[in-house]
Amino acid sequence: MASDIRVKLCGLTESSDIPAAMLAGANYVGFVFFPKSPRNLDIHDAAFMARSVPEGICKVGLTVNADDATLEAILDKVPLDMLQLHGTETPMRVAEVSAKFGLPVMKAVGIADEGDLPKLDEYARVADQILVDAKPPKDADLPGGNGLSFDWRLIANRRWPVPWMLAGGLTPDNVAEAVRLTGARQVDVSSGVESAPGVKDGDKMTAFCRAARA
């Protein structure tokens, strides 16, 4: 049923985004630890925000090719429930992070064409979840959060042995169609619910959750 669809609202930057995301109906909230991103949080702010997230909502920490010391520093202070690896981490690194840090790991995989699809099977063998995102353009500063989508028909009716989430250029206007075409049961959005880069919009978050579950 569409009403079961789980929504991740990623890249929250203000304390007030937490109650707004709860009101909207988020199941997951995402905190970005990547200095180049307009959604980057310092560890102190992220810790403060994470502590205000109600029980039962999954707090996801997004990193990009982070080394062990960086992950340790984040996890020492921020009570996260899941790590999202959004860089070029190899399957071996995904398995290593999962074993070392004891949290579920979601690996983002960028898709542009059919040739990218085998990577989804590969990462589904080592990650706890996979995040099926659009492949960033070669000259992009960010490996995600660019508001770009991919041809959803590429993954229509494909399934993996772990839960997966659809991401990339989703908005309140297109998420229902994306869910219909792909059969996704989980969706993730960042820039599509903002009024400016890094500024979340409560009305757009609510409209997104409603449209995803319509």
Taking CB under 6 A as the rule, does residue 46 contact ligand LGQLAAA5?
Answer: no
- The strand pairing partners of 5, in sequence order, are none
Nearer to ligand LGQLAAA5, 124 or 131 (CB): 131
Query: Among positive and negative, which fits the CA dihedral 103, 121, 89, 91?
Result: positive
Q: What residues from 155 to 184 belong to the interface with ligand LGQLAAA5 (CB under 6 A)? A: 167-170
Nearest approach, Cβ of residue 9 and ligand LGQLAAA5 (Å): 9
Taking CB under 6 A as the rule, does residue 34 contact ligand LGQLAAA5?
Answer: yes
Nearest approach, Cβ of residue 74 and ligand LGQLAAA5 (Å): 15
Taking CB under 6 A as the rule, does residue 189 contact ligand LGQLAAA5?
Answer: yes
Going from the C-alpha of 164 to that of each of 7, 56, 131, the distances in angstroms are: 12, 19, 6
Q: Say what the alpha-carbon torsion angle 53, 58, 63, 66 is, to the nearest 10 degrees.
A: 100
What's the CA gap between 40 and 11, in Å, rounded?
8
**For residue 99, what are its two tokens?**
């074993």
Which contiguous run of DSSP H or E holds residue 107? strand 105-111
Residues that bind ligand LGQLAAA5 (CB under 6 A): 10-11, 30, 32, 34, 37, 39, 62, 64, 86, 131, 133, 142-147, 167-170, 188-192
Give the residue numbers annotated as catalytic, written as ranges: 10, 133
